[in-house]
Structure 1
Amino acid sequence: MKAFFHDQQRRHDPKHFLSSGAPQPNPEVPGRIDALLAGLAEAKVATDAPADRGFGPIAAIHSPEYLVFLQNIYARWQRIPGASAEVVPNIHPDRRDVGYPKSAVGQAGFHMADTACPISENTWESAYWSAQTAVAAADHVASGAGDAYALCRPPGHHAFADLAGGFCFLNNTSIAAERLLTAGHRPAIVDVDLHHGNGTQGIFYTRSDVLTVSIHADPARYYPFFWGHADERGTGAGLGTNLNLPIPRGSKDESFLAALDTGLSRVRAFGADVLVVALGLDAFEGDPFGGLAVTTAGFARIADALAGLKLPTVIVQEGGYLCPELGPNLTSFLTGFGAERAS
């Protein structure tokens, strides 16, 4: 297995987010990178820097309007008298088919789903290289060189085609899947993050060429609340190519693995010839978000089940926040997957 990471991904350093209306320290910090790199080293996985493949692979998923917004909003925001140090929206449209405002405040509300994705001076640069990391991993797998892990930070699975949210700006998992599709593959995405990958679902919801499967804490009382329910199956051409497997809060290894088994059956039925894993390590029992109770050993079992599909695989890092076990959890997953497979 080969890993990819670019050091510019450290530059995004958000300070706060709102949780239940109260400002809290933002847990999506650069220190996550060091813990994950330590986990890679323990798993004996070598890391390379990604090449710059430009805007094409990103724009295959995200609208040019949104990309212009992400590149320029911080500078525009700083020109507003009395504006906050980070871009945080205070108004949102009640639907997406509305007029597009010229105001920076209005555009922030249009392109930011919540208050958990503050944009600061270096956010765009880090998000750009996070996406290029996913592209490099997809290209490695598409070339037949073996499996790949993309240390993507900031994460991506809550980002829609033109909407940031939940610490996410560019949807790295979707960018990787689209890159593999363009290379002639039939990709399936399996998201094992604590939270539902609502952005990924939204991007592919009307399409039949990419399967999306997500195992996550039941959103009835948990973020992202409005997406991730079992009755969301896709629409139009995409009907039947989206599978949500919500599990109760506090679920342990066996419940997670049982849901995963159902998801893998759907991957086989889809006839996928390549796999994209959206790897959230925040399902861990000791993660600061505390939504599920997967053990360190459980991540190895999850990985072993995914490896059982015997498909070329891109593993894209999503959540997983600072705790002593973050690095060991990645080591457990990669070891369980078989990091020694062809690289």
Structure 2
Amino acid sequence: MKTVFSPLHAGHAGQMELVTAAIVPGFEKPSRAEFIRSRVESEKLGPIIAPVEHDLAAAKRIHKADYIDFLPTVWPQWTAAGFKGSAMAFTWPTRGLRGDVPPQRIDALLGYYSFDAGATFVEGTWAAIKSSYDVALTAAALVKAGERSAFALCRPPGHHAGAAFMGGYCFINNAAVAAQWFLDQGASRVSILDVDYHHGNGTQEIFYDRGDVQVINLHGDPMTEYPFFLGHADERGAGDGEGFNLNYPMPFGTGWDAWNASLEDACAKLAAYAPDVVVVSLGVDTFEKDPISQFKLKSADYPKIGRRIARLGLPTLFVMEGGYAVEEIGINAVGVMTGFEDR
């Protein structure tokens, strides 16, 4: 399996984020991708290739054009305004406030285009976002060209980013962009299987009223877990998308047996949908030692995930999302790949 990877991700470093009761160094840090890359090499998964640079047309097929145009301007606007430190929102247009008029100040615009203060900017953030997008599209092209699978080692991740908002470390929704790209290249149906601990709220929002992309999420119950405001089991899609959005919320402490039961049901429904290609939003923050998650999967479980996905017998693109137990993230992420290849 080929892995696509860009060293430009490393420019997104030293950013801060707002968590409950504190502003702290970002959990989403460069070592995540580097541990995975090293494991790809040590396991001899396959060649690591550089991404091909793309324009932003594919991003604008999924995201609002004004939002995508805003992202490269954040750091220049932030520094021009005289602000120091990470570019971070502090106010949001919630219920009862106007969300139809973009303000002029950069600190306010960050709130206009986000749903939390977890997707913050430093000088190298835009280059990292763009390289992550390029990684996803380059890996998608490998699958389109006939590869059984490919691994897009994306950083920053993407599944919390919606059509016009960032959040949860995510800026461009790489999995959603890849799914749309497959459709634009001739696919009739695409399934996105999101196995990250946190619900892929952005992906759900983007495709909720569409029937050509099935979105399946296995995740922590939003009654008690971030992102809180999407991911309930009764969210089934709307209009043309009714029945094509599937959520499997699970409680704190979920281990392999219960999690795998959800995976089995999800895979059965995916197979019944009969997509031309599968995009896996690969988060490994379901791991028992993850510092910001509450499931109890073990490293030995991740190859089983890969083997089950392989049994679908479909072209598969793996897109890296979350996972924050840095010492084990490489073992677990690459374990899914080696399981897929039945090694």
Contact residue 15 and residue 121 of structure 2 kept, 8 A: no
How far residue 149 of structure 1 moved from its aligned partner, in angstroms, is 0.2
- Secondary structure at the aligned position of 1:281 is classed as coil
Q: Give me the whole-angstrom Cα distance separating, in 1, the residues matched to 2:198 and 2:53.
A: 30
Structure 2: unaligned runs, 5 residues or longer: none
Decide which moves more: 42-51 or 166-175: 42-51
Instruction: Name the CA distance, whole Å, in 2 between partners of 1:253 and 1:6.
Output: 32
Contact 2:99 2:112 in 1 (8 A): no
Contact 1:66 1:163 (8 Å CA) reproduced: yes
Q: 2: distance between equivalents of 1:59 and 1:286?
A: 37
**Contact 2:210/2:241 (8 A) holds in 1:** yes
Correspondence for 1:41: 41
- Deviation track 1:105-158 (CA, whole Å, cap 9, x = no partner) reads 221111021011111111111001101100011111011133100000000000
Task: Indicate the residue corresponding to 2:150 in structure 1.
Answer: 148
Q: Report the Cα offset of residue 161 of structure 1.
A: 1.3
When the two chains are superposed, the root-mean-square deviation of aligned CA atoms in Å is 1.4
Residues 6-85 of structure 1 mapped to structure 2, 5 A cutoff: 6-44=6-44, 45-81=46-82, 83-85=83-85
Partners of 2:336 and 2:42 in 1: CA distance: 11
Q: For 1:220, what is the secondary structure of its paired residue? A: coil
For 2:263 and 2:14, locate their aligned partners in 1 and report how far apart those are by CA, in whole Å. Answer: 33
Equivalent residue number for residue 233 of structure 2? 230
1:64 partner amino acid: A
Q: CA deviation at 1:75?
A: 1.2
Distance in 2 (alpha carbons) for counterparts of 1:265 and 1:169: 31
Is 2:178 the partner of 1:192?
no
- Pairing 1:270–2:273 present: yes
Inter-partner Cα distance in structure 2 for 1:290 and 1:305: 23
The list of structure 1 runs, each at least 4 consecutive aligned residues, that deviate by more than 4 angstroms after superposition, is none
> Percent of pairs identical after alignment?
38
Q: What pairs with 1:141-180 in structure 2 (closer than 5 Å)?
A: 141-180=143-182
Secondary structure in structure 2 of the residue aligned to 1:53: coil
Offset of 1:339 from its aligned partner?
Answer: 6.9
Q: Whole-Å Cα distance in 1 between the matches of residues 309 and 342 of structure 2?
A: 13
- 1:292 aligns to 2:334 (yes or no): no
Q: Does the CA-based 8 Å contact 2:3-2:48 persist in structure 1? A: yes
CA contact (8 A) 2:17 2:24 kept: yes
- Does residue 1:326 correspond to 2:315, yes or no? no
Secondary structure of the residue that 2:326 maps to in structure 1?
A: coil
- Residue 199 of structure 1 aligns to a residue in which SS? helix
* 1:42/1:331 contact within 8 Å kept: no
2:212 pairs, out of 209, 213, 218, with 209
Q: What is the CA-CA distance between 1:220 and the residue it aligns to?
A: 0.6
Q: What secondary structure sits across from 1:213 in the alignment?
A: strand
Q: Does residue 239 of the first structure (1) align with residue 245 of the second (2)?
A: no
**In 2 relative to 1, CA 267–234 (structure 1 residues): closer, same or farther, beyond 3 Å?**
same
1:119-134 aligned at under 5 Å gives the runs: 119-134=121-136
Q: Distance in 1 between matches of 2:147 and 2:274?
A: 21
Among residues 141, 144, 147, which one is paired with 1:139 in the alignment?
Answer: 141
Per-residue deviation, 1:97: 4.8
Matches of 2:186 and 2:8, distance apart in 1: 30
Q: TM (normalized to structure 2)?
A: 0.95
1:152-210 CA distance string (max 9 Å, x none): 00000000111010001010110111111111122100000010000011110111110
